[in-house]
Every structure is written in C-alpha cells, then in structure tokens.
Amino acid sequence: MKWLVSLLGVTTAIASGAVVLGLGMNTPVTAQAAVKTHKITALPKTFRGHWYTTGGKMFNKKVSGKKFGRSKYRKSHDKQSMSATSEQYFTPYKVSGAGTHKNTIYLLNGEGINTIRRTTIKGKAVLISYNEQQHGTGFTIYTKSKKSSLQRNIGGSNPFGMAVTSRKTAKENRTFYNKINPKVKKYFGKAVVKEHASGGKTGMFKGININSYSAYYFWERVVNN
C-alpha cells in the first residue's frame, strides 16, 4: 500500500542517521469525499479501444471490457497480490456523487489503485489515468491518435517513498507532485483526496513538505472490510 512505501522511506532515513519522527505519513487535508461507488463487471464501451501516449509502445493501452492493457478483470480483490504483480488484475468501480466527474472509474489492483476518466480535451477524446501503486505514482493522458500534443506521461516516487533517500531526491519528489497536482485535482475532482506528508522538524528532510492527491482511502475501505 502507498502508506507502506512511505513507512519504508522512514526506515531508510533512520538507517542513514536522520531523525524523522512522523516522516512521510500522509495526513488528509480535505475531508474524505462522499463518493458513491458501484461495482461493475466490465469497463464501459466509452473506455474501450486503442489508446496512445508518449514513452514508447509499453505505455500504450488496449482497453476492452475485461482488459486494461496487460491487466485483466477480476471479480474481487486479489488478496494474494504483491507489489510487483499488483496490476495483474483489476476490479472496476464506477464513481459518482457530488464533486465527481462523469465517466470516472476506480480500478482496484492488488496493492494499488488506478483512477481513470474518459473525457475530452480541446474536443479530442482522451483517457486520463492517475495510477497509485506501491512502487510509485503515475499521471498519464492517452489519446486515440498515436501522436498528440495532449499526451502526458509523468512518473515519480510516492511521497517520501523508497526512492527518496536525500534532500535532493525529496525536493525532486515534491516537484513531481507540484507538477501533477493541479491536473489531478482538475480532472478527478472529489474522486481524490488532498493529503500532506511532512519531512519533520529535524533530520535530513527538515522543512520539506509534500502535498498530493490520493484515492487510496477507497482501496483501504474495500480491502479492510
């Protein structure tokens, strides 16, 4: 889970001699969204087809009712999943409620969650993904055309995740979220919750604070019930 990655980041910092009490533990800034979810058995037709983004063939997605790229539909959450195989399966939930947007879906993975939305930008069909996994977070905009100026493919570590081992990488981590936060908020609305991770008042990451958005509260709600 995302909070586990942050916790492992704390362990790494302690091993390097830093005092990081409470480091990286995400605290919700906004109240948990009153999001309504409805479990579905296939991805709606509007999501289906071939989608392309920058970064090469491996990032492109072929979406059908039961597949999202290499990820396959599963009726229920895979409790035996590990971080490396988290996206092997997905269980889809349609999102609705005040402050959310039409055609938004949670793809519940083994150890993560991918929030996706089918919409248009400048009159062009796009598929937007905010993918939160143990090993990192990605923000991607796919288009129907193989090349488009609308495409985006940005990846980074989770807030104070395992890849954050110095002040330099912590600041890079903060820059990553500052870059994608406005887009995540704009395109996913109340489907995601604003969170805050503190670098603490002493130690290696003193004064470095990271704001981000997350849908992990939904993952935890499903998995822990």
For the stretch 71-94, pLDDT in tens is 999 999 888 888 888 999 999 999
Q: Is the pLDDT of residue 134 over 80?
A: yes
**What confidence score (pLDDT) does residue 9 get?**
42
Phi-psi region of 203 (alpha: psi -120 to 50; beta: other; left: phi over 0): left
Q: Which helix (H) or strand (E) holds 41?
A: none
**What confidence score (pLDDT) does residue 33 get?**
52
Confidence of residue 57 (pLDDT cuts 50, 70, 90): confident
Q: What average pLDDT score do residues 204-222 get?
A: 93
**198 forms bridges with which residues in the sheet?**
209
Q: Is the pLDDT of residue 197 over 90?
A: yes
**What confidence score (pLDDT) does residue 15 get?**
32
**What confidence score (pLDDT) does residue 29 get?**
60
Q: Which amino acid is it at 116?
A: I
**What confidence score (pLDDT) does residue 22 get?**
37
For the stretch 161-183, pLDDT in tens is 889 999 999 999 999 999 999 99
Q: Which helix (H) or strand (E) holds 124?
A: strand 124-133
Q: What average pLDDT score do residues 53-58 get?
A: 89
Asked if residues 114 and 127 have their Cβ atoms less than 8 Å apart, the reply is no
**What confidence score (pLDDT) does residue 56 get?**
84
Confidence of residue 18 (pLDDT cuts 50, 70, 90): very low
- Rounded CA-CA distance 72/216 in Å is 20
For the stretch 25-53, pLDDT in tens is 566 565 555 789 999 999 999 999 999 99
**What confidence score (pLDDT) does residue 117 get?**
98
**What confidence score (pLDDT) does residue 5 get?**
44
Token output for 57 = 């063939």
Outline where DSSP puts E strands in 21-123.
Answer: 27-28, 36-39, 49-51, 61-63, 67-68, 71-73, 89-96, 104-108, 113-121
**What confidence score (pLDDT) does residue 26 get?**
65
**What confidence score (pLDDT) does residue 185 get?**
97
Q: Is the pLDDT of residue 23 over 90?
A: no
**28 forms bridges with which residues in the sheet?**
195
